[in-house]
Amino acid sequence: MRWRFWWWWLVSVTAPTLTKAQTQECICTIQGRITERINKQEVAGALVYLKGTNRSALSDSSGTYVLKNLCQGRYTLVCQLIGYAPTQVSVTLRHDDDFRQNLALLEEDVHLQNVVVTARRNVPSTQARTELSGAALDRSRGQSLGEALK
């Protein structure tokens, strides 16, 4: 009897949440153009992604990016490319929203750590070395190892 109460309570609490999640359509879009902040030229190959999700896109040769089939909600849009400072913008999507967000990247020097390259030269061996072919071994049958190596 007691388990029925808890089962009905659980169903009544979770059912509205489940139906809302099932009916939410993810049809929102974020698109825009990425340019350099100073000279206003298009930036190709920049990574644009929504922080905390697995949704991302790369800008094409004209600097354009598109993120499709997004659910409504609040996101942080991040844009980054080596040689530029990362840029992030807060975006709120509403039902059936086609949101346009242009981004401007500022060039940034990339400072790498020093790399030390070391190498050693192969030193020739000081030990004597002799090679015997199979035919030479056949001719020296019955001889000692020292005689075969002469």
Which range is least confidently modeled, 92-96, 120-124, 139-143? Answer: 139-143
d(CA 28, CA 58): 18
d(CA 51, CA 66): 15
Domain boundaries, position 61: 24-105
Q: Rounded to two decimals, what is the model's pTM?
A: 0.59
Answer yes or no: is 43 within a domain. yes
Answer yes or no: is 147 within a domain. no
Task: With beta carbons less than 8 A apart as the criterion, state whether 59 and 67 touch.
Answer: no
Q: Please state the domain count of the chain.
A: 1
Q: Is pLDDT of 109 > 70?
A: yes
Torsion region of 73: left, alpha or beta (phi above 0 gives left; psi -120 to 50 gives alpha): left
- pLDDT-derived band at 139, boundaries 50, 70, 90: confident
Number of residues in the chain: 150
- pLDDT-derived band at 150, boundaries 50, 70, 90: low
User: What CATH number does residue 91 fall under?
Assistant: 2.60.40.1120
Task: With beta carbons less than 8 A apart as the criterion, state whether 74 and 90 touch.
Answer: yes
Q: Is pLDDT of 101 > 80?
A: yes
Mean of pLDDT values over 117-145: 78
Pull the structure tokens for residue 121.
Answer: 């030269």
Residues contacting 104, CB < 8 A, separation 6+ = 34, 35, 36, 37, 87
Mean of pLDDT values over 28-54: 95
Using one digit for the tens of pLDDT, what is the confidence trace for 17-31? 554 455 568 899 999
Answer yes or no: is 113 within a domain. no
Answer yes or no: is 46 within a domain. yes
Residues contacting 53, CB < 8 A, separation 6+ = 75
137 versus 73: the higher-pLDDT residue is: 73
Answer yes or no: is 1 within a domain. no
